[in-house]
């Protein structure tokens, strides 16, 4: 039996540019890097009855996504820069403070495998600049706001 590796580029990320009641899933295009992290908080729950062995209990988990990419423009406009709608939505959320800076996202594997999640996140956006011949970069950290939910993969 042979096995094949999964590619990091197999991931897609959509942002809800609509509302919770009427979602409009808009792709975040131009990603060149994608990393999911789950941080775990452990508390020692050792006791006298464990025969000298220690034990830890998971008391909290936090999730986040870190992405990098290149700014994109609307391919149908060769004159003026018209930003990619997903990138622009994330950039604008990253410039807000408070509730307006929280958005809903979903992320999933493009091959239809069951790895698919949805949740609310805060947005930490960075970008702009670069050398004379460089493409303009962006980087975003999406910080999970409570539990993420497993969803049916939209690509399935």
**Residue-wise pLDDT tens digits, 90-139:** 999 999 998 778 999 999 999 888 999 999 999 999 887 777 767 788 89
Please state the domain count of the chain.
Answer: 1
Question: Per the domain annotation, does 2 fall within a domain?
Answer: no
CATH number for the domain spanning 144: value is 2.30.110
pTM: 0.84
Q: CB of 119 within 8 A of CB of 108?
A: no
7 secondary structure, DSSP code: P
From CA 35, how far away is CA 30, in angstroms rounded? 15
Q: 41 pLDDT exceeds 90?
A: yes
Q: What residues make up the domain containing 120?
A: 8-150
Question: Per the domain annotation, does 144 fall within a domain?
Answer: yes
| Assigned token pair, 46 | 């050792």
Q: 2 pLDDT exceeds 60?
A: no
What pLDDT sits at residue 108? 95
What pLDDT sits at residue 64? 96
What pLDDT sits at residue 154? 94
Within 20-136, strands assigned E span 25-27, 31-44, 56-70, 102-109, 116-127
Question: Per the domain annotation, does 49 fall within a domain?
Answer: yes
Question: Per the domain annotation, does 19 fall within a domain?
Answer: yes
């Amino acid at each position: 039996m042979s096995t094949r590796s999964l590619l990091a580029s197999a991931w897609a990320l959509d942002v809800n540019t609509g509302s919770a009641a009427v979602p409009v899933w808009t792709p975040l295009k131009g990603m060149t890097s994608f990393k999911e992290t789950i941080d775990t908080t452990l508390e020692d729950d050792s006791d006298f009855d464990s025969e000298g062995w220690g034990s830890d209990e998971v008391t909290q988990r936090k999730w986040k996504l870190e992405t990098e990419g290149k700014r994109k423009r609307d391919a149908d406009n060769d004159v003026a820069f018209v930003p990619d709608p997903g990138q622009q939505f994330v950039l604008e959320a990253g410039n807000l403070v408070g509730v307006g800076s929280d958005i809903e996202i979903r992320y999933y594997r493009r091959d239809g495998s069951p790895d698919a999640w949805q949740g609310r996140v805060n947005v930490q956006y960075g970008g702009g600049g670069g050398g004379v011949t460089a493409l303009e970069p962006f980087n975003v950290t999406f910080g999970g706001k409570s539990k993420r939910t497993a969803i049916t993969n939209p690509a399935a």
